[in-house]
Chain A
């Protein structure tokens, strides 16, 4: 088992940061996916799930598993702790553009500011972000929270 798989498996104990945001892999060979909406009328895709299409206002939306990889559109390393952030500073965030066209705001992992370049291929992972220090949704204080992150894609040889 690779270290990556071990990390993915260790995540099973945490609670997703919100409901219906992503799928958790049930085995090491499976990949996680962000859940979104695709408009049956104009074809535009969105994250997270939306009631109506932001492009054409259609209510005819279908829930879809979004692409697992994308391109890094921009990134930064934040050094000031946001009021509700459950992780530690500094931390690296980015915007990843999926093949569907939607751009995802995301935490980045397995990388640092110096190793990142706009245009890099990135892949989705679901990992522990931290523990809640105040109630979040239905979660109590001290709950280990799973969130979506992207990391540079390592191609298999």
Chain B
């Protein structure tokens, strides 16, 4: 396998842009990445485009917007893990020698309100028992019952990520929070979950350009930002609803750590799937960053803040930066790349050399990726 360099990145603002065609949103992110690399669209030989909400050929629509060059366009659909899946495919195409350069795009445009309206109605949908808010409210309820995390500790995740989002110019929301009371006093969605425990849906795109080291030398100077490891998992059998989001992350992380020899103790920053506040605490544990019995108190002590030992979701995460489904995984890789280059402005972590990106997609089945980037 050949080493693969992250040559460049690009990202739109995240927000609601119902008046903009999805192809233009995707093309904006690709143009930003092309400019970042100093290369032309006609130099791109292959595109992997992730999207979960749109038409099956959204990738070709982005290509059409940028100019027809006749290249292969592979559309990727893997729910919230779509962006990370497209990035992994682009990485593998270069690592295995198929191409010397590849672009991965994540783009989505979601209707407001709880997800699901775009999909055909099912029995569970008609009964209202297949919602993410219901599932994660019950995970919160269970975490409190098992005395794993307190409601305050979960709310602290929201305060941290929303405040981080305030210093990220690309964030969907800039809601400054003074304390957990701001989270507790927001609108009740599903007991004990109030609004600010939930990430928003939204629109946006991110793009990343990978290439070989040899090619990267033409466009940029060392040290290169390298894609050190990528892992993708789906569900193994675990008895019982609500247990599912954990094992997929544990196994993806283990695989990624083994590939690159970087462990959780080496990580300088982590961008993970905080779709709901309870998820961030669980994922920190499942990525091996700390133990279950300490994660809540470490969160309250600031261990995962920008200036903490292992900064988590310095971009604002899904909670604050926003979550245009398939764009998220690549946006996470953008954030890590900006951080490793020292270009992250007010949210710059002190001299990071390694970063980890993680998303869990879907409900039953849970597509999950863990990617590790290093300088």
A77 touches B190 (CB 8 A): yes
A18 touching B237, Cβ below 8 Å = no
> In the complex the two chains form, is B241's CB within 8 Å of A105's CB?
yes
In the bound complex, CA of A94 to CA of B137 (Å): 10
A80 and B127 in contact, given A74-B139, A74-B242, A103-B242 (Cβ under 8 angstroms):
no
Contact A107 B128 (CB under 8 A): yes
Q: Which of A81-103 contact B (CB under 8 A)?
A: 81-87, 91, 93-95, 97, 101-103
* Interface bracket on B: 20 to 34
- Asked whether, in the complex, the Cβ of B123 is within 8 Å of the Cβ of A21, the reply is yes
Whether the Cβ atoms of B125 and A82 lie closer than 8 Å is yes
Pick from A2-10, A23-31, A59-67, A128-136 the stretch touching chain B.
A128-136
- Of the listed residues A80, A86, A132, the one surrounded by the most CB atoms of chain B closer than 10 A to its CB is A80
Q: Which residues of A contact B (CB under 8 A)?
A: 17-18, 21, 44, 54-56, 73-87, 91, 93-95, 97, 101-107, 113, 118, 129, 132, 134-137, 145, 147-148
Measured between C-beta atoms, what is the minimum distance from A13 to chain B in Å?
17
A82 touches B116 (CB 8 A): yes
> Are A76 and B190 closer than 8 Å at their CB atoms?
yes
Q: Is the CB of A54 within 8 A of B237?
A: yes
B126/A136 in contact, CB under 8 A: yes
A83 adjacent to B190 (CB under 8 Å): no
Residues of chain A within 8 A (CB-CB) of B129 are 93, 105-107
**Interface status of B223 (Cβ within 8 A of chain A):** no
Q: How far is the CA of A75 from the CA of B113 in the complex (A)?
A: 21
Query: Which residues of chain A are within 8 angstroms of B114 by Cβ–Cβ distance?
Result: 80, 82-83
Q: Does B142 contact A (CB under 8 A)?
A: yes
Q: A55-B239, A74-B138 are in contact. List 12 more A-B contacts (CB 8 A).
A: A76-B138, A76-B141, A77-B190, A77-B191, A78-B128, A78-B189, A79-B189, A83-B113, A83-B116, A135-B121, A147-B123, A147-B127
CA distance A145 to B130 in the complex (A): 17
Closest B-chain residue to A105, C-beta based? B129
Smallest CB gap from A54: residue in B: B237
B188 sits at the interface (CB 8 A): yes
Q: Does B5 contact A (CB under 8 A)?
A: no
- The 9 tightest CB contacts between A and B, nearest first, are A83-B117, A85-B128, A18-B123, A84-B125, A74-B138, A76-B137, A103-B241, A84-B121, A55-B237
Residues of A within 8 A of B142 (CB): 73-74, 118
Known: A44-B239, A78-B134, A103-B241. A93 touches B123 (CB 8 A): no
Complex formed: what's the CA distance from A106 to B127 in Å? Answer: 8
Partner of B123, one of A17, A55, A77, A82: A17
Give A104 Cβ to nearest chain B Cβ, in Å. 8
Q: Which residue of B lies closest to A19 (CB)?
A: B123
On whether the beta carbons of A79 and B190 are closer than 8 Å, the reply is yes
Q: Give the distance to chain B from A49, nearest Cβ to Cβ, in Å.
A: 12
Give every chain A residue within 8 A of B242 (Cβ-Cβ). Answer: 73-74, 95, 103
A132 in contact with B190 (CB, 8 Å): no
Which B residue's beta carbon lies closest to that of A89?
Answer: B128
Do A93 and B239 touch (CB < 8 A)? Answer: no
B134 touches A147 (CB 8 A): no
B137 proximity list for chain A (CB < 8 A): 76, 78
State in angstroms the CA–CA spacing of A55 and B237 once bound together.
Answer: 5
Which residues on the B side are within 8 Å of A80 (C-beta)?
A: 113-114, 133, 189-190
Give the chain B neighbours of A81 by CB distance below 8 A: 128
A78 and B190 in contact, given A17-B123, A55-B237, A85-B127 (Cβ under 8 angstroms): yes
List 25 A-B pairs, Cβ < 8 Å: A21-B123, A44-B237, A74-B139, A74-B141, A75-B138, A75-B141, A76-B134, A76-B193, A78-B134, A79-B190, A80-B133, A83-B114, A83-B116, A83-B117, A84-B116, A85-B128, A93-B128, A93-B138, A101-B239, A102-B240, A103-B241, A118-B142, A118-B145, A137-B123, A147-B126
1/0 per residue B128-153: CB within 8 Å of A? Answer: 11110110011101100100000000
A74 touches B133 (CB 8 A): no
Query: Is B122 positioned at the interface, with any CB of A under 8 Å from its CB?
Result: yes
| Chain B, residue nearest A86 (CB) | B126
Nearest chain B CB to A62 CB, angstrom units? 18
- Is B124 engaged at the interface, CB distance under 8 Å to the other chain? yes
A residues in contact with B121, CB < 8 Å: 84, 134-136
Mask of B272-291 contacts with A, CB within 8 angstroms, 1/0 = 00000000000000000000
The docked-state distance in angstroms from the alpha carbon of A17 to that of B145 is 32
B188 & A132 in contact (Cβ 8 Å cutoff): no
Contacts of B131 in A (CB 8 A): 78, 82
